[in-house]
């Protein structure tokens, strides 16, 4: 009996020590774009807790935020991102095409084209909506000052641009020519073009510049909360774009750092009920129908089109609108 | 108040004046003026927006400039040479150079031919840099003629250095062995054209690996390394000549370096030493040129390598207490070296002996124009400029030194009829630092000898026959 007790005691001690020795401290870096800052603060905390319970490992997730295009280039230039959660698929495609950091079929590795949450583009106006802004057409009126970031550097601004463009195409007699005329007038009303979406939010809400901010839905709601309820009003246009920000493991970096498993677990957790709930609480539209139904009152119902439907996907949209000589350059010609 | 007039006034207002206008606008007024006041308020708002937009644009522009600066490589050209570095300074490449053109004139030197000469003493492009922030490198080829004139191109330094912290660094490659004080002084910074007699007894450059560092900002410096091992004053041929290694190390303290007491902060003293063993029967372990030379680089002592087959054969150790003192324009440097080497001969009578050669020197300098003298040179306050008022810096230098050969060297290992057993040398010089890069030096050196002076038209007999009197000049470009 004594021997059995000693055996069991030794076994427990060995098992305990093994678990202590085996548990690891892991650090990963999530390189993201501007409007996800607050969301990932909450999500990272929940994920660390989840991963600790699941594996015993302690995970510390570091965040980096900026304009989506700029963040993508930083990864290609050597920023050691284990995961990239950028604003648009084009910026993630560049990680494959220019950096060779991820496989070409990265978008097929996770559900919903690797886009675990969505958002849309709305307007934020000052209290009382003094300029009477209701839809996209109002942004091109004389005397209206519009705030949006520079589409050349900001993924969020590209969504804004395409949302406006898509609306113009849907107008009676709408064509590329009329859409570009509309966009030219709209951008003449933009006095300041920040490099990232967060910068343009600050320009509008903190610096008090402009009559209307074109922003992601979650960013607009956050601005209202952050800079004081009652100072701003949210306006949903008649039609807008379905923004589908994608996520991916940066394979080469994760492999080199030995963080592949935790990086994949991190992204998988975005699709979990907990992850979807955190996304909804941070005003991103969850993919989970159950979670979306639970938060239905938080999101205005409006007509949404996808980039694939109107622009043939990001690669085509990038080439036609944001590459050198694209429509954005054209509308800015003096 | 006409609207046009108001507008014209407002558009010429500085932003700060808008507040005053706003105060005026908010004051109680008659109803007849209300419409104008509303217009005024609207104009103020417009003006306020314009100011905010301008401010924000300036901020964004600055952010863009700052961001660009983070990734833009920097190129610098100046008196320190050409430098290129990545924006984060993790990668640095620098090009420096050293050219020394000497003239040597010997007086009353009898039959010696060919020693009065112009000499391209050193001609070195110097490549240095940093890789990945912590890895430094230095590569120095020399196209000059060296001390005695040569057409061969030599690699003087070629090393990699890992800098973990300033106080823990690891250097591997070819570089100066850490023993002698003056020998470790930069070739561009020596106060006289040639180093003094003690440098004849310490190793020059060797291939090896060295742990070193500067503790507390250089209050204490240390270096300890393993090298192939070379003879006194020898440069390695880039490979070992035997199977044994040499250990060398040095500790140097400047205890008051960080003190505010200017009388004490320039004190430095230390101890260098080496130990090794030569174990093959060739002359590579003997001193450079198999003997020792004067300030004029003429040999006054030579081991009898051809007649008696003298070689380094056994233990060889050196010890060198050393120190300096700098205070304002005053510079003092003193050094003592003992080099104890076991040598043997392979011609009857076959025998071996431990020979202990010693040398010492004291160098004093004074910068007449008042600039600070330092171990790394003199920087003129006002560079030479014929169109301006600058004349550079002028420094007077004096040195006395002796080198004593172990009496046991004679007559079995060296010929007392031709080689001197002792050399005593004094020098005086004047250095003109035109600017940080250009220097002109002139000096007179007189060396007397004990022994030697026998028959023969070549060194060392011809050199030791009379005192050596040398006037030398140097034109130096260093950047």
For residue A77, what is the nearest residue in chain B, using CA coordinates? B71
* Chain-chain contact of B52 with A195 (C-beta, under 8 angstroms): no
Which residue reads 């306020």 in tokens?
A: B48
Q: How many CB atoms lie within 10 A of CB B425?
A: 24
Band (pLDDT 50/70/90 cuts) for residue A17 is: very low
Nearest CB neighbour to A209, from listed B52, B63, B64: B52
What are the boundaries of each domain within chain A? 2-115+245-296, 118-243+302-331
Task: Give the model confidence (pLDDT) of B146-181 as tens digits.
Answer: 766 666 789 999 999 999 999 999 999 999 999 999
The per-residue pLDDT of chain B, averaged, comes to 90
Say what the pLDDT of residue B472 is. Answer: 97
Nearest CB neighbour to A207, from listed B52, B63, B64: B52
In angstroms, the CA B442 to CA B254 distance is 31
Find chain B residues with C-beta within 8 A of A207's C-beta. 52, 55-56
In angstroms, the CA B378 to CA B65 distance is 39
Q: Is the pLDDT of residue B6 over 70?
A: no
Which residue reads 């942004």 in tokens?
A: A139
Specify the DSSP element, H or E, that contains B47. helix B34-71
Nearest CB neighbour to A191, from listed B53, B63, B64: B53
Nearest CB neighbour to B49, from listed A145, A193, A194: A145
Task: Give the model confidence (pLDDT) of B191-231 as tens digits.
Answer: 999 999 999 999 999 999 999 999 999 999 999 999 999 99
Find chain B residues with C-beta within 8 A of A199's C-beta. 60
CA B148 to mean position of chain CA atoms: 22
| pTM reported for the whole predicted model | 0.67
* Chain-chain contact of A195 with B57 (C-beta, under 8 angstroms): no
In angstroms, the CA B142 to CA B188 distance is 14
CATH code at A2-115+245-296: 3.40.190.10
Termini Cα distance of chain A = 93
Q: Which residues 8-67 of B are in CB contact (within 8 Å) with A?
A: 49, 52-53, 55-57, 60, 63-64
Find chain A residues with C-beta within 8 A of B49's C-beta. 145, 191, 209
Task: Give the model confidence (pLDDT) of B8-35 as tens digits.
Answer: 433 344 444 455 445 545 555 566 677 8
Say yes or no: domain A118-243+302-331 is CATH 3.40.1190.20: no
* Residue A211 near residue A203 (C-beta atoms within 8 A): no
Of B416, B464, B400, B470, the closest CA to residue B442 belongs to B470
Say what the pLDDT of residue B241 is. Answer: 82
* Chain-chain contact of A195 with B60 (C-beta, under 8 angstroms): yes
Say what the pLDDT of residue A67 is. Answer: 81
Out of A71-75, A152-156, B320-324, B352-356, pick the least confident: A152-156
Q: Write the ipTM.
A: 0.72
Mutation to test the A interface, candidates B60, B68, B73, most A Cβ within 10 Å:
B60
Assess whether the region A2-115+245-296 and the region A118-243+302-331 belong to the same CATH fold: yes
Of A108, A112, A78, the closest CA to residue A95 belongs to A78
Phi/psi-derived region of residue B405, left when phi > 0, alpha when psi is between -120 and 50, beta in every other case: beta
Say what the pLDDT of residue B415 is. Answer: 95
Mean pLDDT of the region A221-248: 91
Size of interface A-B (CB pairs under 8 A): 23
Find chain B residues with C-beta within 8 A of A209's C-beta. 49, 52-53, 56
């Amino acid at each position: 009996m004594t021997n059995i007790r000693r055996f069991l005691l030794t076994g427990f001690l060995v098992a305990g020590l093994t678990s202590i020795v085996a548990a690891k401290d892991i650090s990963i870096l999530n390189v993201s774009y501007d409007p996800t800052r607050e969301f990932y603060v909450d999500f990272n905390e929940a994920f660390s807790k989840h991963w600790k319970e699941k594996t015993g490992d302690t995970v510390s997730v570091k965040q980096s935020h900026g304009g989506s295009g700029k963040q993508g280039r930083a990864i290609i230039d050597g920023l050691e991102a284990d995961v990239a959660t950028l604003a648009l698929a084009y910026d993630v495609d560049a990680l494959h095409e220019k950096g060779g950091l991820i496989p070409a079929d990265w978008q097929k590795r996770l559900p919903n084209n690797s886009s675990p949450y969505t958002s849309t583009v709305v307007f934020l106006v000052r209290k009382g909506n003094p300029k009477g802004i209701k839809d996209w057409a109002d942004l091109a009126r004389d005397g209206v000052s519009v705030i949006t970031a520079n589409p050349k550097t900001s993924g969020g601004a590209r969504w804004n641009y395409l949302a406006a463009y898509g609306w113009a195409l849907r107008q009676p007699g709408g064509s590329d020519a009329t859409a570009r005329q509309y966009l030219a007038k709209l951008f003449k009303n933009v006095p300041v073009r920040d490099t990232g979406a967060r910068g343009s939010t600050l320009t509008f809400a903190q610096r008090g510049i402009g009559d209307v901010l074109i922003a992601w839905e979650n960013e607009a709601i956050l601005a209202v909360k952050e800079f004081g309820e009652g100072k701003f009003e949210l306006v949903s246009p008649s039609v807008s774009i379905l923004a589908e920000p994608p996520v991916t493991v940066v394979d080469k970096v994760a492999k080199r750092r030995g963080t592949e498993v935790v990086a994949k677990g991190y992204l998988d957790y975005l699709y979990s009920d907990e992850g979807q709930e955190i996304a909804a609480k941070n005003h991103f539209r969850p993919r989970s129908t159950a979670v979306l139904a639970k938060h239905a009152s938080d999101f205005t119902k409006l007509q949404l089109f996808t980039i694939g439907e109107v622009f043939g996907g990001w690669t085509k949209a990038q080439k036609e609108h944001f590459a050198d000589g694209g429509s954005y350059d054209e509308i800015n010609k003096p | 108040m006409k609207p046009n007039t108001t507008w014209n006034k407002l558009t010429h207002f500085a932003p700060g004046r808008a507040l005053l206008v706003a105060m005026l606008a908010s004051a109680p007024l008659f109803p007849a003026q209300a419409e104008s006041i509303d217009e005024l308020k609207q104009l103020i708002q417009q003006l306020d927006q314009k100011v905010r937009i301008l401010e924000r644009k300036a901020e964004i522009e600055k952010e863009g400039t700052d961001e660009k600066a983070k990734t833009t490589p920097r190129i610098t050209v100046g008196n320190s040479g050409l430098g290129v570095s990545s924006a984060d300074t993790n990668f640095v490449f620098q090009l420096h150079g050293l050219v020394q053109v000497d003239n040597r004139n010997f007086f009353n030197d009898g039959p010696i031919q060919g020693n009065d000469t112009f000499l391209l003493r050193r001609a070195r492009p110097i490549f240095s840099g940093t890789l990945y922030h912590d890895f430094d490198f230095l590569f120095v080829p020399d196209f000059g003629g060296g001390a005695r004139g040569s057409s061969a191109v030599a690699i003087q330094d070629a090393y990699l250095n890992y800098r973990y912290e300033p106080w823990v660094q690891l250097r591997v490659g070819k570089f100066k062995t850490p023993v002698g004080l003056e020998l470790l002084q930069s070739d561009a910074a020596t106060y006289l054209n040639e180093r003094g007699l003690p440098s004849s007894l310490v190793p020059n450059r060797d291939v090896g690996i060295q742990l070193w560092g500067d503790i507390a900002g250089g209050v204490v410096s240390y270096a300890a390394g393993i090298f192939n091992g070379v003879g006194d004053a020898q440069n390695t041929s880039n490979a070992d000549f035997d199977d044994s290694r040499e250990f060398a190390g040095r500790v140097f303290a400047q205890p008051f370096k960080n003190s505010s007491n200017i009388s004490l902060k320039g004190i430095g003293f230390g101890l260098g030493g080496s130990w090794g063993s030569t174990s093959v029967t060739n002359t590579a372990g003997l001193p450079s040129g198999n003997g020792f030379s004067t300030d004029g680089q003429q040999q006054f002592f030579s081991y009898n390598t051809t007649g008696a087959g003298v070689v380094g054969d056994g233990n060889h150790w050196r010890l060198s207490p050393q120190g300096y003192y700098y205070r304002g324009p005053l510079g003092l440097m003193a050094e003592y070296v003992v080099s104890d080497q076991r040598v043997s001969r392979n011609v009857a009578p076959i025998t071996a002996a431990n020979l202990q050669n010693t040398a010492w020197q004291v160098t004093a300098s004074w910068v007449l124009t008042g600039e600070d003298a330092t171990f790394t040179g003199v920087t003129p306050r006002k560079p030479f400029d014929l169109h301006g008022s600058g004349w550079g810096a002028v420094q007077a230098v004096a040195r006395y030194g002796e080198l004593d050969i172990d009496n046991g060297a004679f007559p079995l290992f060296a010929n007392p009829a031709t080689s001197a057993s002792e050399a005593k040398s004094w020098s005086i010089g004047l250095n003109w630092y035109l600017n940080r890069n250009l220097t002109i030096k002139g000096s007179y050196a007189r060396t007397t000898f004990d022994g030697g002076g026998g028959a023969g038209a070549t060194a060392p007999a011809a050199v030791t026959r009379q005192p050596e009197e040398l006037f030398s000049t140097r034109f130096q470009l260093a950047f």
